[in-house]
Amino acid sequence: DAGVTQSPTHLIKTRGQQVTLRCSPKSGHDTVSWYQQALGQGPQFIFQYYEEEERQRGNFPDRFSGHQFPNYSSELNVNALWLGDSALYLCASSPDRDTEAFFGQGTRLTVV
């Protein structure tokens, strides 16, 4: 079992561009959550997907959008990138909301 895999591991984008990050959940997990972690801070919840629908959303602007596919993999899209979007983006999967979450190693996004 490969666990949660994220791609790419590192990414550099220019202000104003768009980016797509990808996540494959752990086998058997149907719930995927995305987090943004700024340096020295705790992860901030962006949104959670379940059965291809956004189930709950954190306090992030509409520039942040996502998608979940029938195989439960997920994408995070960020439009009109700001310098402040530079962070580690983490994906986590779980079999349901009341159990432990398994995290990927993250995508380090740098906006210049």
- 30-59: contacts with another protein (CB under 8 A): 33, 35, 37, 39-45, 48, 50, 55-56, 58
CB of 47 to another protein, least distance (A): 9
Kindly tell me which of 62 and 100 has the beta carbon lying closer to another protein. Answer: 100
Residue spans of alpha helices (H) in the chain: none
- 14-33: contacts with another protein (CB under 8 A): 33
- 88-107: contacts with another protein (CB under 8 A): 88, 90, 92, 97-106
- Residue 74 CA to residue 55 CA, distance in Å, equals 13
CB of 81 to another protein, least distance (A): 20
- Label residue 107 exposed, middle or buried (CB < 10 Å: 0-12, 13-18, 19+): buried
Please choose, from the candidates 2, 45, 49, 47, the residue with its C-alpha nearest in 3D space to the C-alpha of residue 30.
Answer: 49
- Residue 11 CA to residue 86 CA, distance in Å, equals 10
Which residues contact another protein (rule: CB under 8 A)? 4, 33, 35, 37, 39-45, 48, 50, 55-56, 58, 88, 90, 92, 97-106
